[in-house]
Amino acid sequence: MKLSIIGSGYVGLVTGACFAEVGHHVMCVDNNPKKIAMLVAGEIPIYEPGLEELVTRNMASKRLMFTTSIKEGVDHGEVIFIAVPTPPQADGSVDLSYIEAVAREIAGVLQEYRVIVDKSTVPVKTGEKVAETIRRYNKTASSFDVVSNPEFLREGCAVADLMKPDRIVIGSNNDRAIALMKKIYEPFMAPILVTDINSAELIKHAANSFLALKISYINAVAAICEASGADVEKVADGIGADKRIGRNFLNAGIGYGGSCFPKDIAAFISISRQLGVPFTLLEEVERINASALERFLAKAREALWVLRDKKIAVWGLTFKPDTDDIRCSVAMDLVVELLREGAHVTVYDPKGMDKAKELGTIAGASFATFPLQAAEDAEALIIATEWKEFANVDLLALKKIMHTPLVFDGRNSLHPDVVREAGFTYYSVGRV
């Protein structure tokens, strides 16, 4: 099939590359000429495992193309996916100006039947607004259908998630549109759930909110474990062994972050308020998440007494491993707070340092080229992102170069007994 993806960020680019991989002819559109020029030149603007190979292979086979022209995209694709940003506003609601702008641009060049698909995470009833906007600004009265097809991609394993999805959600009441969507996803061999468009839009926000709730729940349990001398890892194993609950997302730490969870939880709270049914449980999820980092920092303050002028190494800047994404990263928030309190901070991250330097919010920190360099002569080491290389560190080499063998593990990456046997004073989350 001929498909177009408007927006070539994390979701759009991965979706386009994977659709091309299964045989579709995909045109990715973006209004950033620099980004499109990079992609045409074979350069990938984001880090995502497996993505570069997919893009290179499918560009060579002529199944994946890039352009800045909305008209080219609309003319090319039988189905047009909208995958543009939906950033949060100050009150937690979603900024839909990018969606509205794309809908207007599509309307301006639409000549024949197309299926317009909301791939971006949007509030319920957005599909109705997209359809209304296209009808309003389309001068040729062309026929079209709007479909909701939320993405469930996890950064760091987005290619695998799209190639082997748990489920595919298609929100539409039109048989023609549903048939085209099913044809697109036929090669993926995954369960397809067909719903009305409003239900499909709610599924994404509800799913992410539930996962965030699990994270905040285990972080609340971690605080009780620390107060009682219990081990949150063992508690989580016991909880997760229940098939009704499952072990995933029951990992205690310094809180969730990233481009999805904080934004989606805030949006769902805002949506519920607008609908007159406040979702107060999610407000508590937000509060617990914010308190996780503060409780962790309190341990560092207590152990170090004063943070000012202390030399502290931080391993990890991205919000999770296997990505270069630092958006709403708790690790970045941690570094910002350490700098604010006057600490001398040296950071290392396998993939996120270039973007951290560009952002500039931790300009006061020093950037190391490898983990042990960051820890050299440090009075404390903080593990803020659970990269595998941090879990596999040579503890004896680390101890030799640190001024004080003091480790604060914000992601429970290391085994307490092993670290302490190596001569470290060790603090983690929910484990004594």
In one letter, which amino acid is 284? E
The predicted model gives 73-89 an average pLDDT of 96
- pLDDT (average), residues 69-98: 95
Residues with catalytic roles: 260
**Is-contact 2 78, C-beta < 8 A?**
yes
Asked if pLDDT for residue 381 goes beyond 90, the answer is: yes
| Tokens read off for 395 | 């503890």
Tell how strand 366-367 and strand 380-383 pair up: unpaired
pLDDT digits (tens, 9 = 90+) for 303-317: 999 999 999 999 999
Q: At what angle do helices 280-304 and 197-228 cross, to 10 degrees?
A: 40
Residue 290 clears pLDDT 90, i.e. is over it:
yes
pLDDT of residue 310: 97
pLDDT at 16 over 90: yes
> Residues 43-56: pLDDT tens digits?
999 999 999 999 99
pLDDT tens digits along 258-280: 988 999 999 999 999 999 999 99
Q: Where are the beta strands (DSSP E) in 309-387?
A: 311-315, 344-348, 366-367, 380-383
pLDDT digits (tens, 9 = 90+) for 322-337: 999 999 999 999 999 9
Residue 204: what pLDDT?
A: 93
Could you read off the pLDDT of 361-370 as tens digits, one per residue? 999 999 999 9
**What pLDDT shows up at residue 432?**
84
pLDDT band at 379, cuts 50/70/90? very high
Cα–Cα dist 409/427, whole Å? 6
**Residue 123: partners with Cβ closer than 8 Å, 6 or more residues away:** 93, 94, 96, 201, 205, 267, 270, 271
CB atoms within 10 A of CB 355: 19
What are the C-alpha distances in Å from 125 to residues 97, 103, 147, 178, 345?
Answer: 15, 15, 11, 18, 46
pLDDT at 383: 98
Residue-level pLDDT at 136: 95
Mean per-residue pLDDT over the chain, rounded? 96
Whole-number Å distance between alpha carbons of 311 and 342: 10
Give the pLDDT band of residue 347 (cuts 50, 70, 90): very high
Give the integer Cα–Cα distance in Å for 358 and 338: 19
The pLDDT value recorded for residue 259 is 86
pLDDT per residue as tens digits for the range 118-170: 999 999 999 999 999 999 999 998 999 999 999 999 999 999 999 999 999 99
Confidence of residue 384 (pLDDT cuts 50, 70, 90): very high
